Amino acid sequence: MKKASNTDSYLHILKYISLFGGVQVLNVLIGIVRNKFVAMLLGPQGVGLISLFNSTTKLISDSTNFGISMSAVRNISEDYDQNNEEKLTEDIALVRSWSLLAALLGFFICIFLSPLLSRYTFAWDGHTLHFILLSPCVALTALAGGELAILKGVRKLRALAAISVYNVLGALVLTVPLYYFFGDAAIVPSLVLMALVQLLLTIMVSRRLYPFRVSFQKTFLDKGWGMIRLGTAFVFAGILGSGADLIIRSYLNNVSDIATVGFYNSAFMMTMVYAGMIFSAMETDYFPRLSGANNLKFTFNQIVNRQIEVTLLLISPLLTFFLLFLPQLILFLYSDKFLPALSMAQVLVLAMYIRAIRLPVEYIPLAKGDSKSYLLLEGLYDIFLVSLVLLGFWKWGLFGAGLGIAGAGLLNLVCVYGYAYARYGYRLSSSVMRYAALHFSIGLLVLLCVRSDDEWMRWGVASLLCVVSTIVSLRVMKAKSGLWNALISKVKNKFVRHAKD
């Protein structure tokens, strides 16, 4: 029975990583097309400008949205599971009321702080008007966050997937023509338009399910203080993360130029976002399973370790091939102007191996309801990140910035695991350590090969190592998940049905 249970668990993880990862792949493919156009039309300077505007508005949004997009899911989900329609309707109205207040707060704070944002982000005051015009982005994002929380709480996962796809499609269709005709002058209007499209797509679905109703009576709003308190931890975590990101990009802009910010952003997007699609199932599937077992020590450890194993086995072969073809990917995704980002992107691949181990462990404090510990660990990571990236860039340029991100991830892994070991009794399994050591070693060897001047090393040996990584992962997944047997059984059943017909 234990073997069957293990097989089911591995199949379950593979199934949901494939499901949610598939949606992410589609979104990324559409996003790649858009980014290619943006890179060609605006160049590194335009991409860097978009990056700084996005980082700044995200910081304001994370600081003023009360964490509703995360905390509201819990209340609505509880009402939905209990079939309490009256309470569900009331909580949805409460979420919308607080979301509207958050939108207004973010809108006015963005306007009020626009001179400071311009001065400290760009080292001069020439972008004050741009930040004022971007204030609707903050408001629209807060409103969309509340509506998305409602859809998550009532389990409308297909609708959420469709919204994400249509949102990326809308960004492609609407913004690329603007960049073509107006160039850099279209950046601010395009960002506002993208935020509006996301809100309209979301509210079209949520409003059909639950008609829009808000109330600003004090007695009604007071019922939401529990939700707001819960969201505070997420707000602070968002502020820390967005602040660290903004400090790094502003530093790069001030000590170098806006093109360097564009290179940094491109390398980060290619590795931490595109190659990290496999992590998309963490919040949707893994986190709820982990939360349900937080009082069962053995099962809890088992869930974390299996998630790490499957994530490592899936992402490791992808990362080796990613390293091998990274120069071609830069040309495909962006243009030859972005080749200075290559060295940073190569080092960032190593950070992805570390993240595959670190991320499942980072969810442990949240699953335990220990928001203070979560904030402590997030704060430590942001300190490591800013310190090491700034030091690395000062010493070795963009390559050093990549080393800084990888180093921050490694230090954070040590802290997160040490904390989980001491506070929650979590233990890494021997199989996790074995797979991690093997695949990280292969990845490091591939990195050394692709950075070699010897063509035979760069292509011959590196390609062989990619094949080895793939074979190792497939053999382990076949043995542990019974995936091959499940596929054979499915094919046989289809043939049997056709024969009977």
Count of C-beta atoms within a 10 Å radius of residue 371: 18
Instruction: Provide the pLDDT for residue 196.
Output: 96
Closest to 325 (Cα-Cα) out of 466, 456, 472, 474:
466
- Spell out the per-residue pLDDT of the chain, length 501, in tens: 344 344 446 776 777 676 667 777 787 778 778 878 888 888 888 888 888 898 889 889 988 988 888 778 777 877 776 788 888 999 999 999 999 999 999 999 999 999 988 887 776 667 889 999 999 999 999 999 999 888 887 877 778 878 888 998 998 899 999 999 998 899 999 999 999 999 999 999 999 999 999 999 999 999 888 778 777 877 888 788 888 998 999 999 999 888 899 999 989 988 877 666 777 666 666 765 676 566 666 678 888 999 899 889 989 999 999 999 999 999 987 888 899 999 999 999 999 999 999 999 998 887 776 778 888 999 999 999 999 999 999 999 999 999 999 999 999 999 999 999 999 999 999 999 999 999 999 999 999 999 998 999 999 999 999 999 999 998 888 887 665 555 555 545 555 455 555
Entry pTM: 0.74
**How far does Cα 489 stand from its chain's mean position?**
35
Rounded distance, CA 253 to CA 221, Å? 42
109: tokens are 């704070």
Closest to 287 (Cα-Cα) out of 366, 354, 233, 352:
366
Whether residue 244 contacts residue 386, with contact meaning beta carbons closer than 8 Å, is answered with: yes
Rounded distance, CA 390 to CA 385, Å? 8
Rounded distance, CA 408 to CA 414, Å? 10
When computed from its CA atoms, the radius of gyration of the chain, rounded to whole angstroms, is 23
DSSP 256: S
Instruction: Provide the pLDDT for residue 138.
Output: 95
Count of C-beta atoms within a 10 Å radius of residue 8: 12
Rounded distance, CA 228 to CA 207, Å? 23
Rounded distance, CA 394 to CA 192, Å? 35
